[in-house]
Structures are given as structure tokens and as C-alpha cells.
Structure 1
Amino acid sequence: MKRTGLLLLSLLLATPLASAADEGASDGRTWHRLVGILQYLQADYPAAVASKSDFELSEQRSFIAEANDAARDMGPRGEGFLSRLRDIKARVDKGEDPEGVSRDCAELVEDLVLSGGLARSPRNPPDLVRGEQIYQQACATCHGADGRAQVTIAQTMEPKPANFHDADIMAGLTPYKAFNTVSFGVTGTAMPGFPTLSEEERWAVSFYVFTLRQPACEGTPPRASLEKLANSTDPMLVEAHGQENLACLRRKMPNVDEERGLLVARDHVEQALKLGANGDWLAARNALLDAYLNGVEPVEPPLRARNPDLVLKLEKAFLDTRLAAEQKSPHLQDEGRILLSVLDEARRGSGSTAGALSVMWITLFILIREGFEASIIVAALLAMLRKMQAPAYVRVVHVGWVSALVVGAIAFAFGRHLLGGANRELLEGFAGLAAVGMLLYAALWLNARSNMSKFMGELREKMQGALGRGSMAGLFFIAFSSVLRESVETAIFLQGLALDSATGTAWGCAAGVVAIAALVIFVNRVGYKLPMKTLFKASTVLLVATAVILLGKALHALQEVALVPLKPIPFVTIDLLGIYPDAMSLGPQVVLTAIPLIMLIIKRRGGSTRLADASSQG
């Protein structure tokens, strides 16, 4: 029978698995060993049942027995998997349900990876040159120099060494499966484990065997993450990228700049879990903060541009894990392993590249989403000032929002250097709070001018009235602060998208500018025709609502750099509206929302009282 999982490096270098490994007798090795056994069962058990070979079925029974032993070796953390393993063992012992066993093994592998926080890919691009050296020194004896296993010693083995040119064998093999085989060997076969090889060497030879049947690479491979390459079979890569790109994907390791940040985060999280296990809670909390600021934050813009839901999931996992460390919770390990799995999920998509058309639509959506609130505010201010025939103040508003765009352009040019790590979150947080203050000022300013007859008299006094020099500065900062946060954030998003397609980003920007300009013109024209009192009321409501949204986003950003504490509560997350399930952001938003409502109720009651007094006097 053709064996998907076997990777017989060499009988000449056979070393017992019990010998000291470079990773030590770590808990992680036991988890990986169990995963490797289940991967064999997943791939080989259906074929063993179909063969009706007593030898093959006996081998599968030894695998599932070993899997049960491995789970028991894991102690309390493995107990939750024993019932599922016993259920699989019962079917394997009877030689029944091949499809169900294969499916259940695959599901159990995913659950083990999540529960154990296992890394299923190398931390750096494998050195294929080194992999070839190891293969020729250790593997060619059994597998042949070309990987076809057409050597004399191979004919004496049962099962025979894998032929790495065989399409059926390679269809079920991934570099991660090969890595586990190299690490632990296969019980009951001639395949030994090779713990004396370093982790990087094992990954190198595991990736190298996939190049043996590939022609020379001509051209540049499409972008793909190490996480994806390590966990994809050849047919999976062909389906995703085309047969013409398979050779380059296997022969040229990717540039992992974006993925490296997530790997940095992963290292810090693993360090935090070790510190927490040793009772050093403060150091664990600081390691988690470093993981986010130095690992995730630098690569967040392209990740958010491609998959904003995944970024929200990542942020939540970080905050939950950090909260567990701050509260010295025994759940830190569980939260941390969930965080590791989400980081690996982000890694799988980190190397993906969107086409020009996709990038254009994503860019357009981002511009409209980020620019909507700011453009509405600016348009409302312009419409109001034109209605009041105050052209000097119109120019001030234009100078304000244009200045914010200039800052955004600077962020686009130098964002990666100036706005990395905590700097970006601090800018978003403090700029958001400043915008909240200016928007509330604008709301009060508009509300104070709801009496039109009085206000028009003030306008006649020009610079002597309420619209003096201070008001000009206020209008400037309202326009500037309303656009600044979105301008900088959009610039950083576009930076990430431009890596996928500069052309698509450019066309998306052009379309977005046109859409936003049309929106501003529409609101400006409509606002000019609205009754002044209606315009004032609508603008006041809009400014307060925007202030509430920005307050939530600003406090959330400051929580991510630990300047504001975490106080989670059961509630929903609506990122677009700045609503997060945390008392430290939601509470101030509720207060800010309630204040104008209370003032309105008091004002109406006061008006009703005065009207009643006037009626009684009449």
C-alpha cells in the first residue's frame, strides 16, 4: 500500500525517539506526536480497510493504540480527548467506518492544534539548500538521490520507502505531516524519528522533498504564507494558484515580511504563557502588550484591509488574554492558546495577494467608510456657513480639512516609520479624544445659535459678534480633527493595499474621491435649501452622534496600549459605531449620549412651565 505519511530519512541514522531532542521532553512534543499519529490514520486507514490486508489493519490498530497512550501521557490536558480517541479505536479495531474515522481524526487534529497552541509551520523560510544536503546524506540511501525509491535496499522493506514522485502519495502529504514524521518516526515501521536534527533542519528537509518532482522554477511565485505552504498539499496549491505556479511555490520560499510580524507576536505570546505558568503575571502582561504592539500593530493595516472581521477577532483574543494575565487568572493558558490559533489563522492569509480589481473595490469601500462621517460633518458646516453668508469662515473650514489630508499624505509616505506600534494607537486615541472635544464644542456652538433673529444680528456685527477670531480657530479645528483620524488611518490602510496592487489602489482612490466629493456637494446643496433651524438641529444631532462614536474608538485604542484599563461586560461589538463590550468605553458613551437628552428634557419642561405660567397670568 502506498503510504502518504512515511518519510524514511535513513536507516543508517536511526536514533531512538527517547533520546534527548533539541526541544527537550516538552509538552509541545507530545501534542505534535499525537497530531502526527492521527494524521497517519486520517490518510491511511481508508486505504487499509479497502486493502483488507491483516498486516495493514494491524498497523492501523497499533497507531490508534499509540495515540491513546500519547493522550494519557499529556495528563489532565489530554483527558478531554480520551473519549473521542476510544470511540475511534473501537471502530479501527473492528476495521469499520473508514470515512468516519478519517473525518473524526481530521477534526480531532484541529481541536488538538487549538488546545495545544501548536505551531504548524516554520518560524523562518526553510533553507532548501540545507534540506538538500540532509536529504543526500541521510535519505538517498533508501529513497534514492532523485526521490523515486528505486534502490536495492528499498526492495527489502515493508512498507517500502515513499516515492516522492508518486502523485497519489504527494496528494495527501503536506510539509507539516512530513515534519512530524521526521520528528517522531512511525511505530512498527523502519521509519525512525530524528530528534538530533534541529527544528530548522527538520523543516528544511520536509520542504525539500516537495521539490524533487518539480521542474525548475521560471518566474516569481505568487505570494503565499509559510503557514499556508506548510499545511497545503500540492493539489491544494494547484487549486489556489494554478498548476503553472506549483514549481515556484515549492522551490522558492516566500518573502515573509508581513508574516514575520505575526511570528514575532506568536513568540511573545508563547513567552507570556510560560511567564504566567511560573507566576510572573506582570511580565506575562507586558509580553502580551509587546506581542500586540511590536508584532500585530505594524501589519494590522493590510490585514484589516483584507479581512476586518479577522482583525477584530485578533484584537478581542489579545484583550481577553491580557485581561487574564492582569487578573492572575488560571484561564490564561486557555485564552493564550486561543490567541495563538487566531494568530496562525491570520498567518494563513497574510501572504495572500488580492487582484487589481479586488484592491480597487476594497480601496473604494475603505475611502467611503472612513470618509463618510468626516465628509458629512464638513459638508454640514459648509452648508450652514453658506446659508449664513459667511464666506470667510467657509475658507477656514476648507483649510482645516485640507490640512488633515496633508497629514494623511505624510502618514502614507512615512507611516511605517512614524506610526508603528504604540505610536499609531496613541495617535488614534488622543486624536479621537480631541475630535470629541471639538465636536461637542461645535454642537454647543450650533445650539446656542438656534435663535435665528438673534444670530443674524450677530452676523451683522461681523468680527465683533460670536463668530470672532476664536470661532474661526474653532471651525478650523473642528474640520481638522474630524478628518485627521480617518485621514491617517486610511493612509495606512492604503499603504498595505498598495503592496498587493498599486494600480488597483490608485483607481480605487480616484473612485473614492469622486464618491466623497459627490456626497459633500449633495449635502452642501441640500443643506443650503433647508430651513436654518432644521439645519442647526440636524447638525447638532450629527455632531453629538459622531462624538459618541469617536469616544468609543478612542478609548478602545488607548486600551490596546494599556493606558485605559480593561473592564469587559457582556455586550455586542459594533466596530463601525465604536461600540465595544467594555465598561471603560461603553460607560462614557452612555453618559455622553444621556447628557444632551437630559438637557433637552429639562429645556422642554422649562418651556412648558413658562407657557403654563403665561397662560395662568393671562
Structure 2
Amino acid sequence: MPFRLVAVMLTCAAAMFCAVSHAEPEPPSGEVAWRLLDYLAVDYPSAVVDGAVVDPAEYAEMQEFSVSVRTLLTELPPTPGQTDLIVQADGLIEAIDRKALATEVAGRAHQLATDLLAAYPVPLAPTRPPDLALGASLYAENCAACHGATGLGDGPGSQGLDPAPIAFADMARARQRSLFGLYQVIGQGLDGTSMGSYAHLSSDDRWALAFYVGGFAFDTTAAEQGERLWSDRQDVRSMIPRLEDLVQTTPDALTARIGEEDATRLVAYLRRHPEAVIQSRMTLSIAREKLAQSLARYEAGDLNGARDLALAAYLDGVEPVEPILATRDRALLARIEEAMGGLRASIAAREPVSEVRAQADRIGLLFDAAERILTPQQGSRVSSFAGAFMILLREGLEALLIVVAMIAFLRKADRPDVLPYVHGGWISALAAGVLTWAAATSLITVSGASREVTEGIGSLLAAIVLISVGIWMHGKGQSQAWQAYIHEKLSSALSKRSAWFLFSLAFVVVYREVFETILFYVALWSQGAHMAILTGAAAAILTLSLIGWALLNYSKRLPLSQFFSYSAILIAGLAVVLAGKGVAALQEAGLLNIHPVSGVPRIELLGLYGSWEGLIAQTLTLAVIVIGFLMNSRRAVSRHGGA
């Protein structure tokens, strides 16, 4: 009795009833073709051995499916790669017709399947590590009746089924089966068998099932040995840097790289602990790999390639670990960012290869220090509390100062009717930040570059707005004789347009902080110590509230002229800081060059990042503010003299 199609035959009679009662849409022909290719690669050896047909029925099925693959490929929407796919399909048909060796047929089928996914992409991996406990529950509810409680294909519902349910515990098949193949069959079902489609389950549920059944053939001892292998060998971790790589990898494919025993152990561990792949990004392996590639390109004379890879080393390798590293050693993170910016500057300046190599070596030592800090053992309830407290306090303080200044201003102007616009602005920014994070983690992928660009543009826009606000406020506090006039004019000056301007300002200055803060908290949350994180956040909120309350009460006692003068200086200072931060963010995104300034310290609180570009931007901002203040003073003197 031939084994049937790809990997999972997850159900018995209940699946047939479900297939009848729930009419599922026909899966895209590209995915069906991929599924058939996966089946061909796995089951061809049971039909042909050493050029001889050993199972005529199975061999006829191999021929039929290879032709079906070609037909499906011709029905796909035209793309530049479609013709090549059809040519490969013809080669696969020819190889099966001449009864080629199993290794050749499997190689052709796998290559065609890989190229098919490249030409017609489908979701290749879960968006987060699957919940294995959920997978076990779903398996017991939907699958165990046929496939058996331990995946041996011996459940009570398996009697009389032809073909018999797949035995997931069969190591020979498990070594050739990818988790992506299992996921595909769960969603699409299997024609000609009792395996129906489970497309009505969510994608997360189907991935949980795929991981759970994909682990039946691997025992606990192998998984424990695999954990040590994963922990001790960086070269092994670099083979599977993402969930996408894990779900497409088979034990047989890994065997060619690390040997059969280690491949079995590694798969046993990772299919039980997919979260380890996410955590492995804390090793900075991607940053190391791209940094080495950048150096190689530079040595080969490829300046553009070296520059792009050096930037990717930061955006793809360092930025994902930035939230955790910032909470544990912000000074080290600053040194890494500064060193990697300096490397990009050296590449752009065409420094000698020996100097660029020395810089890369120094960055490697910084990575070593960072990886020691990033190990789970370095996390604690105290560090989680401190991290949660400092992140929210640091990110929230700038926005708080500006929002408080606007509220105090409206109170001084006796315009409480405009306050809802300010409150609406910062509340909307909080909501928008949460929605942005949700979209970035569930619907789309927001790259490190995109986050830096968003932060950079937001900072520069806020700086421009604050320059005008600061100069305006300074002008309103220049003459005691004009205070009655100012008080009178403030009410009439605040039109609907001005109210919406204040809404926009509150939104921009708060939103630029919210998204980054949430990313930091998500990274912290993944490390555990949840109560410490919540306590730290609560303490930061309380501290910010006390600061806001104190500032508002202090502003009530200030004379109007002093209030405007102090507020103008505060807002102008924040404009200078934001100008520096905005330029630094655009530099980290690769949109602006970096020319380091020797002897200038890096002080993030002041927006100083030690580059000429940042200093020039801050100097220009300060110059505009000073000129504006001087013009205000001259007008005030002129008015006073005229009076």
C-alpha cells in the first residue's frame, strides 16, 4: 500500500465530514504544485529502486503528479521566472520516465519547489514561535483518533482507511519532511485520502500542529543533546537564524552540513523549542556575518557592497537586540553604534584596508562583550525593573515637557476650551503607537531602517515646529508693559486652526516616542520577570506624573513674562536636542553620511552623537533660535522706547 502525499494525514473520518460540511476554496495552484513536488521527493524511492520499478501503482502516481505539476505551472500568472520553472518541470518528468535514481529526482523536485516559492511567494513561516501546548491540544482533538496518541498511525479510527494514516513517528519519513510541508498539507488536505483540509483553523493553529507532529520522531534525549549543541556552537546557530529557515529545513538537508547525529539532535531540540531561534538573534550572529561580508567586499574593491553590508550589519544584526542591550548596558550599546558608524565613515572615505579591518576587529570585541551581557543568565528582576523604569522615563520625559508647556500656556491664556485638542493629540499618539506596533508585528514587517527613518523624520519635524513655537513664546515675554496686550491677544489668536496645530504638535512629539518604547518593552517582556517590568513601568508613570504635576503648579506661580521666557528656553533647547537625534537616526538608516568629529563626546541626552552632520544641524537650529530671540529683543526695545 503506497504512502500518500506530503507529510501529514492529520485526520480520519472526522476530516471527511469536515471537508463535506465546510466547502473550502481551491488552494492556489502554486501551493498545490509545491505540495506535489514535496511528495515526489519523499515517496519516489518507494516506487523506483536502482532504476527498477518496485511498486507499479506508486510509480504511475509519480508520473501522474509530475505531469500535474507542469500543468499547474502553466496556469500560474505570468512572471519572468515562469518559463524556467516549466523547463525544470519537463526535466523532472523526463527523469521519472527514465527511472532515474532517487537522489536525482529528489534534487530536481526540491530545486523546483525552491524556485517556485521564489517566483510565487507564499507565507513561509509563522510570525511568532508556535505554541506547542496548543499544538498538542489540537492534535488530541482533531488527529489522534487516526494518527494515534503517539503519532504511530494506529489510532482507533485508522481501521479500514486506504491509504493508512501517516505514522509521524517514522524516522525515515521524518528525516525528509519539512515543517513547511506539514503546514501546507494541514491547510490544503490530501486528495484521494481521508485527510481533509484544515484551512478553517487559523494560521497560528496550523503552525502549532505542524511543529507538534513534526516532533514525534525525535526523542527527549536527542532534544537535550541538541540544546547543548545549539548553545555551544555559533556556526550551528548561524545555519538557522530565522523561523523561516527552521520550517524549511529537513534533517536530511542538515546532515550534509553537520552530520546525521548532530542534525537529528538539532532538529529534535528546535522543533520542541522554536523560541530558541528568536532568542539566538541575541547572539549578534547576523551582525557578525554581515560585518565579515562587508570586510570581504571592501578588500575586493567593492565599495558600494561593503557600505551596504556594513549598514545591514547594524540594521539587521544590532538593532533587533538594541532594546535588551540598552536596558542592561546602554554605554556599551552607544560604543557599538559609534564604532559601526565610524566603520561606515571609513568605508566611505576609502581608508586603507588594514584600518577598516582593525575597526571591524574592534567591533567584534564589542560584540563579544554584548553577547555576554545578552545571555539569559544576565537578566534579573532588578535589571528588568530598572530597564522598564528607565526606558519609559527617558522616552517620556521630552514629550512630557512639551505637552506640559502647552497645557500651562493654555491655562495662562485662559483658554481651557482648547485643552481637549492637546489631550486629544497625545492620547491619539498613544493609540496610534500601539496600532503601529500591532501592524508591524502581525501584518507587515517594519525594518530597522524604516523605524530609524520614522524616528528621524519625526524628530526633525518636531524640531522645526518647536523652533517657531520657542521664538514666538520668547517674543511674548519681552516687555512688562505689553503683558495686558499679550493677555488680550492670546484669546483672539487661538483660532480653530491654532487648536488643531496644538493637537498636531502633541501628536508628533508623543508618537515619536511611543513606538520605540513599545518595542523596548516587548523585548523586555520576552525575557520574563513580567511583574518586575510592570512594576518598573508603573514607577516610571508615577514619576512622570509627579514631574508633570510639579511643573504645572510651578508655572501657575510664574508671572506671565517669566513663564513665556522659561518656556521659550525649554522648547528651544528641546528643538536643538531633537535636531541632533533626527540626524543621528537618519544616519543609522543610511540616508545621511557620517563624518565623525574627534574629541566631541557622545551625549544622547543632549542630542550629541559626535558627527559633523549632527553638529551642523544643531548649530543651525541654535543659530535660528538666537537670531529669532535677538529680533524679539530689538522689537521689544523699540516698542518700549516708542512708548
Is 1:455 matched up with 2:480?
no
Q: Distance in 2 between matches of 1:325 and 1:562?
A: 13
Contact 1:552 1:585 in 2 (8 A): yes
Kept after mapping to 2: 8 A contact 1:284/1:325: yes
Structure 2 equivalent of residue 344 of structure 1: 368
Among candidates 280, 297, 320, match of residue 319 of structure 2: 297
Alpha-carbon deviations, 1:355-408, whole Å to 9, x = none? 234312221122112111211221121122112210121111111111111123
Say yes or no: does 1:572 pair with 2:601: yes
Aligned mates of 1:304, 1:392 — CA distance in 2: 41
Q: C-alpha distance in 2, partners of 1:470/1:265?
A: 48
Distance 1:319 1:198, change over 3 A: farther
User: Residue 258 of structure 1 contacts residue 351 of structure 1 at CA under 8 Å; is this kept in 2?
Assistant: no
Give the equivalent residue in structure 2 for 1:547: 575
Kept in 1: contact 2:448–2:589 (CA 8 A): no
Instruction: Judge conservation of contact 1:435–1:550 (CA < 8 Å) in 2.
Output: yes
Q: What residue in structure 1 maps to residue 31 of structure 2?
A: none
Aligned to 2:291: 269
CA contact (8 A) 1:384 1:528 kept: no
The reply on whether 1:366 has 2:391 as its aligned counterpart is yes
Shift of the alpha carbon at 1:300? 1.6
Q: Which position in structure 2 is the counterpart of 1:489?
A: 516
Q: CA deviation at 1:287?
A: 1.0
Q: How many Å apart are 1:420 and its aligned residue?
A: 3.1
2-structure distance, mates of 1:258, 1:553:
29
Between 1:295-304 and 1:387-396, the stretch displaced more is 295-304
Q: Cα distance 1:544–1:339, how it changes in 2: closer, same or farther (>3 A)?
A: same
Q: Which residue in the other structure is 1:430 paired with?
A: 457
Asked if residue 444 in structure 1 is aligned to residue 471 in structure 2, the reply is yes
Q: Report deviation, 1:453.
A: 2.0
Change (3 A) 1:203 1:614: farther
Alignment partner of 1:421 out of 433, 448, 452: 448
Match of residue 280 from structure 2: 259
Partner of 2:407: 382
Give the residue type in structure 1 aligned to 2:513.
E
State the match for 1:286 in structure 2.
308
In the superposition, relative to structure 1, how do residues 453 and 310 fare at CA in structure 2: closer, same or farther (>3 Å)?
same
Deviations 1:500-537 (A, max 9, x none): 22222212122221221121122112212211111111
Q: Which of residues 355, 358, 362 is equivalent to 1:334?
A: 358
Give, in angstroms, the shift of residue 569 of structure 1.
Answer: 1.2
Offset at residue 614 of structure 1 (A):
7.2
When residues 371 and 614 of structure 1 are mapped into structure 2, their CA distance, relative to the original with a 3 A threshold, is closer
The residue correspondences of 1:299-318 to structure 2 (distance < 5 A) are: 299-318=321-340
Q: Is the 8 A contact 1:128 1:204 kept in 2?
A: no
Counterpart Cα distance in 1 of 2:315 and 2:409 = 42
Flag the 1:411–1:351 CA change in 2: closer, same or farther, 3 A.
Answer: farther
* Distance of 1:307 and 1:517 partners within structure 2: 26
Q: Residues 210-289 of structure 1: matches in 2 within 5 Å?
A: 255-260=276-281, 262-289=284-311
Q: Secondary structure at the match of 2:476?
A: coil
Match of 1:565, SS? coil
Please say if 1:583 is aligned against 2:612. Answer: yes
Give per-residue Cα distances to partners, 1:402-449, cap 9 Å, x unaligned.
Answer: 111112323454554554321110111011111112212322332343
Residue 528 (str. 1) matches residue 556 (str. 2)? yes
- In 2, distance between residues paired with 1:458 and 1:300? 48
Q: Equivalents in 1 of 2:440, 2:225: separation in Å?
A: 41
- Given candidates 495, 498, 503, the residue that maps to 1:476 is 503
Q: Which amino acid aligns with 1:498?
A: W
- Rounded to whole Å, the distance in 1 between the matches of 2:642 and 2:503 is 43
TM-score normalised by the chain length of structure 1: 0.57
Inter-partner Cα distance in structure 2 for 1:490 and 1:452: 41
In 2: Cα distance, 1:132 partner to 1:485 partner: 45
- The one-letter code of the counterpart of 2:484 is S
The CA distance in 2 between the partners of 1:435 and 1:404, in whole Å, is 14
Shift of 1:128: 9.1
SS of 2:304's equivalent? helix
Q: Is the 8 A contact 2:463 2:579 kept in 1?
A: yes
CA contact 1:426–1:558 (8 Å) conserved in 2 = yes
Residue 392 of structure 1: SS of its match in structure 2? Answer: helix
Q: What code does the residue aligned with 1:558 have?
A: L
Distance in 1 separating the partners of 2:530 and 2:612: 41
**Matching residue's letter, 1:282:** N
CA distance in 1, matches of 2:488, 2:540: 40
- 1:391 aligns to what? 416
What is the CA deviation profile of residues 439-493 of structure 1, one whole-angstrom value per residue up to 9, with x for unaligned ones? 123223323433422222224xx5xx32112211211122112212222221111
Quick check: 2:475–2:632 contact (8 Å CA) kept in 1? no
Identity of aligned residues (%): 29
Letter in structure 1 aligned against 2:402: I
Structure 1: gaps spanning 5 or more residues? 1-126, 134-173, 180-196, 209-219, 221-251
Structure 1 Cα separation of the partners of residues 631 and 472 of structure 2 = 19
Tell me how large the CA RMSD over aligned residues is. 3.5
**Partners of 1:296 and 1:363 in 2: CA distance:** 20
- Counting only pairs closer than 5 Å after superposition, residues 184-203 of structure 1 correspond to structure 2 as 200=258
CA separation of 1:347 and 1:606: change in aligned 2, threshold 3 A: same
Mapped to 2, the partners of 1:434 and 1:550 lie a distance apart of 9
What is the alpha-carbon distance in structure 1 between the residues aligned to residue 309 and residue 287 of structure 2?
9
Q: 1:418 to 1:442 in 2, by over 3 A?
A: farther
Q: CA deviation at 1:202?
A: 13
Q: Where do 1:77-226 residues align within 5 Å?
A: 129=222, 200=258
Whole-angstrom CA distance in 1 between matches of 2:463 and 2:394: 19
Q: 1:201 deviation in Å? A: 6.1
| Aligned-partner residue type, residue 283 of structure 1 | G
Query: Secondary structure at the residue paired with 2:276?
Result: coil
1:557 deviates by 0.6
Kindly state the Cα deviation for residue 538 of structure 1 after the two structures are TM-superposed.
0.7
CA distance in 2, matches of 1:474, 1:466: 12
Question: Counterpart of 1:518?
Answer: 546
Matches of 2:592 and 2:225 in 1, distance apart? 52
Determine helix, strand or coil for the equivalent of 2:494: coil
Tell me, yes or no, if the aligned pair for 1:442 and 1:478 is still in contact at 8 Å. Answer: no
Mapped to 2, the partners of 1:285 and 1:310 lie a distance apart of 23
TM-score (norm 2): 0.55
Contact preservation (8 Å) 2:475, 2:629: no
Please give the residue correspondences for 1:64-83 in structure 2 after superposition, counting only pairs within 5 Å: none
Q: Is the 8 A contact 2:430 2:510 kept in 1?
A: yes
Q: Alpha-carbon deviations, 1:238-296, whole Å to 9, x = none?
A: xxxxxxxxxxxxxx999252433621111111111111111111111111112222222
Cα separation, partners in 2 of 1:198 and 1:603, compared to 1, 3 Å: same
Distance across 1 between alignment mates of 2:532 and 2:605: 24
Query: CA 1:131 to 1:295, structure 2 compared with 1: closer, same or farther past 3 Å?
Result: same
8 A contact 1:436–1:548 mirrored in 2: yes
Check conservation: 2:458, 2:508, Cα contact below 8 A. yes
After superposition, the Cα gap between the structure-2 partners of 1:204 and 1:360, relative to the gap in structure 1 and judged at 3 Å, is same
Conserved 8 A contact 1:175-1:203 = no
Aligned to 1:499: 526
Please give the alpha-carbon distance, in whole angstroms, between the structure 1 residues aligned to 2:593 and 2:232.
Answer: 43
Structure 2: distance between partners of 1:499 and 1:253: 14
Q: SS where residue 255 of structure 1 aligns?
A: helix
Give, in angstroms, the shift of residue 555 of structure 1.
0.4
How far residue 198 of structure 1 moved from its aligned partner, in angstroms, is 9.1
Q: Which secondary structure state, in structure 2, belongs to the residue aligned with residue 389 of structure 1?
A: coil
Q: Could you tell me whether the CA contact under 8 Å between 1:399 and 1:476 is conserved in 2?
A: yes
Is 1:592 aligned to residue 621 of structure 2? yes
